[in-house]
Structures are given as C-alpha cells and as structure tokens.
Structure 1
C-alpha cells in the first residue's frame, strides 16, 4: 500500500521543481454529457506528461553515492523523457533503453534532453528486464515507469492537486498501462473520500493490466498496434501495481482505435490543446460511461500531449 502521507511528502518534495497543472472546466464535454467535466492538464507539465512527477520524486530520494553512479530507465517515450529531464536538472548521468516500437517522436524528445538512448527488444517488458540487468551489472539505479513505490507516490501527487482544485470529486478517469498513475491517484483520493469512483481506461488493443486484474496475476498478452502508445505493452510479473489496482480501482473501460481517434480529434478541435493517444483513451472511456454519471463532478486526467506530427497527420487524414 502507498500511504497518503508518502504522497503528501512527495508533493512537497516536487513543488520547487514541477508545475501544479491546471484543472479546467470543459464546457464542451459538460454540455455534451450532462456531467460537470473537468480536465487535469498534465500535457502542460514539464516534458509534456505526468511522468516527470514519479521519475523526479525517485531521483530526489537517491543518495549522493547513487547519484554519482547514474540512473537508467526503460521507456516507450514519456518516462524516458521524464528521467532525462530529472537527471539533467539534478546533474546525474542517465541512460535510456527504448523498445523497437517506441514512438519516434517521443524517442527524439528524449534525445533532445541530452541523454544516451539504446534500442532493445520488441516489447516494453523485454526492454525493462534487460534494462534492470544492465543497471545491476553497472551499479546504476534503475527507475521503473510504474513498479516502484517512490515513482507511484510521485504520480499520486496529481491526486493531491485535484483535492485542492475541486470538491467534491465524484469520478476520475485515468489512462492505464502499467498502473503507476492510477495507483498513485487512487491511493490518495480513496483515503480522502472512499466514494470517489476511479476508472482505469485502456485501449482494446493493449489492456494487459485490466485482464491481469481479472485473472489475479500478471498475464503475458500480446499487444496490437494502438494510438495509445503510452499505455501499450506488457507489465512486469512482480508489478506492485497489480494489487493496488485490484484494491483501489472501481471500474475499468476499454476503447477501440476509432473511439480513441474520435476523442483525440474532438478534444483538439474544441479545447485547442494538443494531446496524445493515451489521454484520448480516458476521454473516450468517459464518453462511453457518461450516462451513469449525469450531474456528477467528473475529472479526466489528460496524461500527456506528446504526439508525433506523422501520427497526428495520419489521424487528421484518415
């Protein structure tokens, strides 16, 4: 269990380094659904996603000796950029492994932050396993994108901000990959008010955690291509997020690629903000469940805005 006190301490630790992202009322989504809809804009956070919270919280807790030996991460994009950002801010050497199917735009974003990038494996789990082994052999600190209490506590600071920004909160829709963000948010909000509904949202083409929660163990399931590359891929067999999701997440929703595409385009058109596919997953999932939440205060976490121009062009031209 991630204690809310740990998340509060993480929020204080991160406050000098990161933004408190806006929570904005969405007139369009509210009128469309009859709910009071608020969007938490993590796409305007440093590096363009929520991932900076967990990665930097972990790095701020390293000893001087650990910092001197450097940090290492495996990432499909956003987590790698977050680790590179934190390492640069703290003066730590970093190395990022990415899978072969990582978004080229996100890989380039990592590269621009000045870190070394290496490609290994065709799935995020394979890349993560290799990166852990490399870190152990070379005395570096491996920073998991989700399978780490300090990373989860950092992601949970979104919940601390939400509690300051809106009262009451009736439901929160969160994109779900490895489960770090939703585990952190739920660990904080469900203690404040257990009636808050937390909904995990995944693409139908890659919903490993949802199926794993149903099975009670991490499953090895092949993922199909998805616009939600930020949530795609497998989950480590010993992921501490599995029991947290089982305990704290109230419901799950999966969405098709067409639903992701439509949600992404409508949000960009009506809110004039760039978002990535994983953020659109949460919007699309809310739209499927909005009738059950009529009149309620609903938060959608817009988890990132790192979408490549080629991907955006293909969506616009489809």
Structure 2
C-alpha cells in the first residue's frame, strides 16, 4: 500500500465536491504558547466534519472499480452523515445502520439525504456487529469509518491543503479515535517533512490507541463517557491504523473532560467558532502544554462542529 499515492489520487477524486477548509491563524493560541498556531477548520467542512472526505473518496473508488455491491455502514455520528451525503451526491444506493437510541438530531441530519436507514440494537457496538454480519451474508460492502485505505486517504487530503498554504509545520495536533484522521494526514506530512512532529490527542476517558501504541501491542481499554464522542471507543484489533499510528505518531497527549469543555468555551470566546468535543481535545492539548510549542509553527486540526444540544448546554453552564 502506497498511502502517499492514494492520498494524491483521493485529492483528485474529491477536491471539487468538498470544501477546501480555512487555515486560520490564531492570535489567541499563538500568544498563549509564544509560537505560530494555525487552525485547520474541518469544523466548517460540508456535513460539519472531516468525515465527508473519506466517505466520498471510498464511494467514488467503488464506482471506479465497477463494484455493484451495496455499500453500508454503521454510525451514529459524523461518519454516518458523511457516508449518507456521499451516497446522495453520487446518486447511489447505500444503507446506514443505527441503534434505536441514536440521538434524534443526528438521525434527522442523516435522513436529510436520500439514504436507507435501518435500526438495530441499543448501542453502537451491537449495531456495528449486526451491520457487518448482515453485509457478509448479503454480499454487501461494509465501510469502516477508519479501517480502510480509501477512507484514510480521503482524510489525508487535509494534509495536501495545509501544505498548499504554508511551509511544513513543526507540529501537527490531531484527535485520535480509530486513527483514520491522523494516519492520513500523518502519512502525507511525514513524506513531505520527516521532521514534523505528529502528536495524537485523546481524552483521558477513551485512550485506547495511545495505550496500545505506547505498549507496542493492542490493548483493550474501557471507555468512559466523554464530551469527545466523535473519538470515543476503541479500534479493531487488526486495524491498519494501529500500525500506521505506531509508525507515524511521535507522541500522545491525554486531556481531561474539564479541559475539553474549557477548549470548547475558549473557541467560542476567542474565535466565535462552535466546535465539538473531539475538536476540543486537540485544542486543549496545546493549551495544556504551551511550552512545548514555543517558537514553533503548529497546526491544530479542528475536526468537527457537530456537538449535540445537551452536550453544548452542559459545557456552557459549567
């Protein structure tokens, strides 16, 4: 797998159907760490998240391969929304499996696109296992939100956009869940700038990738409730992102729930930008260790804006 070439191909596929999101210079964060800090605002991406990139790249790749099997996925959040939008845009049939207790606002957002929805189970894991089993039985294609080369390559197109605006940074901060985002961007940046430090950011309540990478082997870690629902949970034992993270990620920073909430509030205060918890994790990582980024150029990937109303209320009322 030549992921660098896959990323370049992905960029050609999707560049006309996704937003080239702003790379915003942050005076607030730059002053805080005495460096130069840029925010890659994937929070302003179509569907409100970077996930629009990977899903679209995967589905366009499927079309190129003349694969006629039905694409399906299981997701209550940004991946499901990006997948639904991509199916709708390309005029192809697809199916999203959701748990019965999925947040109403997220179900409504997915329903806005011409996509079939099926409810099963009462938690994301049960729903995913059912979707995978059904896909295998029916001969459908199950599309993982991170454990897939074309998904990773689609997320990696963010790196191409970054380097079209500024020289390679000293540091990149990105939140890690399953690892697709940091694997894609990291693969592109490390090829272009081996000295750039790739720093993975995770909530203390859901640190499976960092624990596994630092131990050198897969470790199952119990995930506790977190504002960073977009990165919550673990990853598949055989995921290609695990080896990529071991190779690419130079360090991890873990963030508390209070620090995530503080970062969300600070983005509203200083930039008038609403971001979700997973984006707050990456921002909070620089706020927590400003001395590490002094006299350097740092890019923070602000990965999404889709925070639920109840989570936003809890953050603002603190």
| TM tier relative to shorter chain | over 0.9
2:159 matches 1:165: no
Which stretch shows the higher mean deviation, 173-182 or 116-125?
116-125
Match of 2:198 in 1: 198
How far is 1:250 from its partner?
0.5
Q: State the distance in 1 between where 2:78 and 2:154 align.
A: 15
Quickly say closer, same or farther: Cα 1:305–1:160, change in 2 above 3 A: same
Q: Where in structure 2 are the equivalents of 1:292-303 lying within 5 Å?
A: 292-303=292-303
1:28-62 per-position Cα deviation (integer Å, ceiling 9, x unaligned): 11112212110001011111000011111000011
Q: State the distance in 2 between where 1:122 and 1:245 align.
A: 31
3-state SS in 2 of match to 1:231:
coil
Match of 1:234 in 2: 234
Answer yes or no: is the 8 Å Cα contact 1:72–1:140 preserved in 2. Answer: yes
Quickly say closer, same or farther: Cα 1:83–1:290, change in 2 above 3 A: same
Q: State the distance in 2 between where 1:101 and 1:223 align.
A: 19
Answer yes or no: is the 8 Å Cα contact 2:33–2:290 preserved in 1. Answer: yes
Answer yes or no: is the 8 Å Cα contact 1:21–1:45 preserved in 2. Answer: yes
Structure 1 unaligned segments of length 5 or more: list them: none
Quickly say closer, same or farther: Cα 1:141–1:251, change in 2 above 3 A: same
Match of 1:117 in 2: 117
Q: Where in structure 2 are the equivalents of 1:255-270 lying within 5 Å?
A: 255-270=255-270
2:58 matches 1:58: yes
Answer yes or no: is the 8 Å Cα contact 1:123–1:234 preserved in 2. Answer: no
Quickly say closer, same or farther: Cα 1:144–1:265, change in 2 above 3 A: same
How far is 1:145 from its partner?
0.3
Answer yes or no: is the 8 Å Cα contact 1:53–1:154 preserved in 2. Answer: yes
Q: State the distance in 2 between where 1:134 and 1:64 align.
A: 24
Match of 1:211 in 2: 211
Q: State the distance in 1 between where 2:152 and 2:305 align.
A: 20
Match of 1:36 in 2: 36
3-state SS in 2 of match to 1:218:
coil
Match of 1:181 in 2: 181
Q: State the distance in 2 between where 1:59 and 1:8 align.
A: 16
2:118 matches 1:95: no
Which stretch shows the higher mean deviation, 228-237 or 212-221?
212-221
Q: State the distance in 2 between where 1:9 and 1:94 align.
A: 23
Quickly say closer, same or farther: Cα 1:255–1:169, change in 2 above 3 A: same
Q: State the distance in 1 between where 2:134 and 2:15 align.
A: 32
Structure 2 unaligned segments of length 5 or more: list them: none
Q: State the distance in 1 between where 2:90 and 2:288 align.
A: 42
Match of 2:244 in 1: 244
Q: State the distance in 1 between where 2:263 and 2:22 align.
A: 20
TM-score, normalisation: structure 1: 0.94
TM-score, normalisation: structure 2: 0.94
3-state SS in 1 of match to 2:29:
helix
Quickly say closer, same or farther: Cα 1:102–1:190, change in 2 above 3 A: farther
Answer yes or no: is the 8 Å Cα contact 1:125–1:235 preserved in 2. Answer: no
3-state SS in 1 of match to 2:236:
coil
Which stretch shows the higher mean deviation, 97-106 or 157-166?
97-106
What CA RMSD, in Å, does the superposition of the two structures yield over aligned residues?
1.8
Match of 1:313 in 2: 313
Answer yes or no: is the 8 Å Cα contact 2:40–2:302 preserved in 1. Answer: yes
Match of 2:128 in 1: 128
Answer yes or no: is the 8 Å Cα contact 1:213–1:242 preserved in 2. Answer: yes
Match of 1:140 in 2: 140
Quickly say closer, same or farther: Cα 1:213–1:99, change in 2 above 3 A: farther
Q: State the distance in 1 between where 2:273 and 2:110 align.
A: 22
Q: How many residues align?
A: 318
How far is 1:111 from its partner?
2.3
Quickly say closer, same or farther: Cα 1:259–1:146, change in 2 above 3 A: same
